[in-house]
Amino acid sequence: MEALPHRPLSRRHARPARGFTLLELLIALGVTALVVALVFTAFGLIGRTEERNQATMDRAEQMLVVSQWLTRKLDGLRPLSMVQGTTVTPFFAGTEAGAMWVAPLPERGEAGGLHVFRLGPLRHSDGGIDLLVEALPFDGGAMALDWGQALRQNLITDVRSLQWYYQDGVSGEWVRQWSSEQGRFPARVRVVIGDAKGDWPALMFALPGAR
């Protein structure tokens, strides 16, 4: 058996670890700063997206609340008459800015009962406009409409545009004025509202008094 040649063992000396150069350190710091900036930018975008989503949800909720309130009040319209001197006419009147009719107000509990509602714009000195609801207890067709004694509540604040339309159940025509002297109730009401973010979807209501 042949012996392997003998080689003297030599001790290898490990090279000392090389540190970062100044250039490499600056590059690393720059990359770190960029990553941190991107992370904070991403968080900012997420935050702004959440704010936009919340604002959209709040606006949609407001539309729903207003639509449901108007639906209840217009669906509860009572086909009553008002007496003006010797003239008896339907207790309903409408303009391009709002309308007046009689419906229950169950939100007041025992003090509810029938009320005369009037909806229209409330204009502020700074130019702002709200959609105001006024309500007076109904006291018969010959009652005096003293709106200074009415209950008041803002249905919508900061309204930018407001248009009411009334459909004649006979001709089918849509008009922007409806006088009680026409002798009948409109068949339907359409309300177009705009706020700072644009127009809402048109709100449409059928009136039971016209059926």
Whole-number pLDDT of residue 97: 96
Rg of the chain (C-alpha set): 36
Averaged confidence pLDDT in the chain: 84
pLDDT band for position 6 (cuts 50, 70, 90): low
Inform me whether the pLDDT recorded for 10 exceeds 60: no
With pLDDT > 90 as the criterion, what percentage of the chain qualifies?
54
* pLDDT tens by residue, 159-206: 999 999 999 999 999 999 999 888 899 999 999 999 988 999 999 999
Inform me whether the pLDDT recorded for 1 exceeds 80: no
* pLDDT tens by residue, 140-165: 988 889 999 999 999 999 999 999 99
Helices first, then strands: H and E counts in the chain: 1, 12
Residue 191 CB partners (closer than 8 Å, separation 6+) = 70, 162, 163, 164, 165, 202, 203, 205
Give the CA dihedral 151, 152, 155, 157, nearest 10 degrees: -170
Torsions phi, psi of 140, nearest 5?
95, 160
Decide if 111 contacts 102 (C-beta within 8 A).
no
Decide if 79 contacts 104 (C-beta within 8 A).
no
* pLDDT tens by residue, 40-90: 676 666 667 777 777 788 888 999 999 999 999 999 999 999 988 888 889
Please report, as a single letter, which amino acid is at residue 12. Answer: R
DSSP state of 23: H
DSSP calls for 112-158: -SEEEEEEEEEE-TTS-EEEEEEEEE---TT----GGG-EEEEEESS
Domain boundaries, the chain: 64-210
Whole-number pLDDT of residue 123: 93
